Amino acid sequence: MFVKVNGIGLFGINTYPVQVESSIERTAIPRFDLVGLPDIAVREAKERVRAAMKNSDFFFPNARITMNLSPADKKKEGTGFDLPILIALLLLTNQLHADVQNSVFIGELSLGGYVRKIDGVLPMVIEAKQCGFKEVFVPMDNVAESAIIEGIDVYPVTSVKHLVDHLTGRKCIEKAKPDLVKPRFEMERVMVDFSDVKGQFQVKRALEVAAAGGHNTLMIGPPGSGKSMLAKRIPTILPDMTQEESLETTKLYSISGLLDNGHSLVTQRPFRSPHHTISAVGLSGGGTVPHPGELSLAHHGVLFLDELPEFPRQTMEALRQPIEDGKITITRVSGALTYPCEVMLVCAMNPCPCGYFGHPTKKCTCAPGVPAKYLSKVSGPLLDRLDIHIEVPQVDFDKLSSNVPSESSAAIRKRVNAARALQQKRFAGTETTCNAKMSPRQTREFCEIDDTGKVILQRSFDTLGLSARAYDKILRVARTIADLDGSDRIEIEHLTEALQYRALDRKFWK
C-alpha cells in the first residue's frame, strides 16, 4: 500500500511543496523510517505522531513503515510536517478514507493530539495557492495570517479528531473568512505625536523629507536636545504601506513567530530600535533555527540606531552592504539564505562623550583628541550612506514653555503620502520603491538639473569636499524635496536645501 500527502517546506523565507510518500509492509519486526533529509525536529515527528494517534483513539500500526519527504535532496526543517505525516499514517492503515490529492496539511502535533501553532504559515499558504491546491489545513492559532490569502480555502484545525471528522464528512470545519484579518497595531504610536516637540522646525522638516523619500538619516546633537524623542515620532509620519509591501513584511513576521492571532497583517511600517548590545545574529539574522534579524524585521520601515558610536565597529560595518542592497545573505551549513531588508536607516548620536563639542555656548569638557576619536567610530563609508545629516540643537526655554501648538503628525503625514504617491507613479513596474532607492541610471533619468544647478553643485563639491557617492545622494534628496513641493523639475531651492543636509560632514568630520 502506498499513499501521498501534501505538505509545504520552509527554508528562510522560501517555500517549496513537499510530498510525504509512504508505504507499509507487514513484517515481524515493526519499524518506522523517515527519510528525505529530515532535521532533528522532523525526525522527532515520529514520536509526536505516534502519541497523538494513540491519544486520539487511533492505533499505531505494528508494521514496517517507510516515509520519504520528497524532494529527497532538500533539507527539511521544523515541525510543520507532523500533520501530513499523521494523515499519511491514517490513510495507510485504513483508519481514514478521504481524497486528499488537492489538499495541503500544515501543523505541529502535541502528544495529546492537539494541533499547535507554527512559524511561517503565511508564506506556506501562499505557496500552497501558487501550486494550485484547492484547500489547506492550518493550526487554529495560525488562522488569522492564513486568512489574508484569497483564492484557496483555509481550514483551521484544533485537533486530530477535529480534522478527521471534517475529512470523513462527519462534522465539517468552517472555512476561514477574510474578516479574521486584523491589522497589527502598535499602541505606542498612537500615544506620541510630532506636535509634542516644540520648536525644532528644521529638524522636523529634514525628517519629513527623509520619510517622504525613504532617505537614511543621521541626527547629531547635545544631550537632551530631543533626538530620541524625535526618532520615536518618525513612525507617525511614515507613508502608508502598499499592499505588496505589507504582505512582504508580514511574511517576515510570520516566519519569526511575531504574529499573534489578533493581529495578523503588518499594515504600519515597522520601526525597530535595537540596543547597541545586540549581537551580529540578532541584527542580521541567522542562528540554528534561522530567523530574520532586526534589519529584516524593519523591512519597508525604519531601523533606528540610537547612540550610534556605542555600536561595535563590526556591527556598523556589517550593516553597510545590506543597507545598500536591500537584502542580506546568511550562510548556513544547509545553504545560503537571503532575507529582504529595504530599510530607512535612522541614527542618532552626540558629537563627543560629554556631548557639547561644537556647541555654540557650552564648553566641551573632553580631553583634546577625544571628540575626534569618538566621531571616527562612525566610519566614512557608513556616513556616506546616510543621505541626510542634521544637527539637533538644544531648544531654548521660551520655545519649550510656549503653548503655541506645533504641527501634528497627521498634517505632515499627508504631505509625505502625496510625495510618496508621485514616487510610486514614477517607479511603477520597477523594483524601486522610493527616491532613496533609485539606481544610478534612474538618478540620471529623474534628477535632471539645469546649468545653474550644476555650477552650484560643483562649487559645493569643492568647498564641502564631498565624495562621488554624495553626488547622487544629493540629487535623490533634491528629487524628494521637489516631490514634496509638487514640482516636476528640481529647482535651485530644492537643490540648495538638499546640499544643506550634507554640510555637517564638514563641521564634525573634516
Binding site for Mg ion (CB under 5 A): 228
Minimum CB separation from ligand ATP for residue 245, in Å? 29
Choosing from 247, 395, 418, 456, the residue that interacts with ligand ATP (CB under 6 A) is 395
- For residues 213 and 494, is the Cβ–Cβ distance under 8 A? no
E strand or H helix at 281: helix 280-284
Measured from each CB, the residue nearest to Mg ion is 228
Choosing from 199, 239, 274, 453, the residue that interacts with ligand ATP (CB under 6 A) is 199
Instruction: Please enumerate, as own/partner, the contacts of 141-145 that have beta carbons within 8 Å and a separation of 24 or more.
Output: 141/116, 141/117, 141/261, 142/106, 142/117, 142/118, 142/261, 143/176, 143/180, 143/261, 144/180, 144/181, 144/182, 144/259, 144/261, 144/262, 144/263, 144/264, 145/121, 145/250, 145/254, 145/259, 145/264, 145/265
Minimum CB separation from ligand ATP for residue 130, in Å? 46
Query: Which of Zn ion, ligand ATP, Mg ion, none does residue 350 bind (CB under 5 to 8 Å by kind)?
Result: ligand ATP
Alpha helices in 389-439 (DSSP H): 397-401, 409-426
The DSSP result for 212-246, as a single string, is HHT--EEEE--TTSSHHHHHHTGGGGSPPPPHHHH
Q: Is there binding between residue 268 and ligand ATP (CB under 6 A)? A: no
Choosing from 50, 74, 189, 198, the residue that interacts with ligand ATP (CB under 6 A) is 198
Query: Which of Zn ion, Mg ion, ligand ATP, none does residue 224 bind (CB under 5 to 8 Å by kind)?
Result: ligand ATP
Minimum CB separation from ligand ATP for residue 502, in Å? 21
Minimum CB separation from Mg ion for residue 371, in Å? 18
Minimum CB separation from ligand ATP for residue 278, in Å? 18
Choosing from 30, 183, 223, 335, the residue that interacts with ligand ATP (CB under 6 A) is 223
Strand duo 153-157 + 135-139: pairing: parallel
Stretch in the footprint of ligand ATP (CB under 6 A) among 101-109, 198-206, 257-265, 331-339: 198-206
Query: Which of Zn ion, ligand ATP, Mg ion, none does residue 460 bind (CB under 5 to 8 Å by kind)?
Result: none
Minimum CB separation from ligand ATP for residue 500, in Å? 20
Q: Is there binding between residue 420 and ligand ATP (CB under 6 A)? A: no
Cβ proximity to ligand ATP: between 53 and 386 the closer is 386
Phi and psi for 284 in degrees, rounded to 5? -90, -25
Phi and psi for 234 in degrees, rounded to 5? -55, -45
**What string marks each residue from 339 to 368 as x (binds ligand ATP by CB under 6 A) or -?**
-----------x------------------
- CA–CA separation, 412 and 390 (whole Å): 18
Give the residue from 268, 373, 278 showing the smallest Cα distance to 319. Answer: 278
Q: 4 pairs with which residues across the strands? A: 21
Binding site for ligand ATP (CB under 6 A): 197-200, 221, 223-229, 350, 395, 400
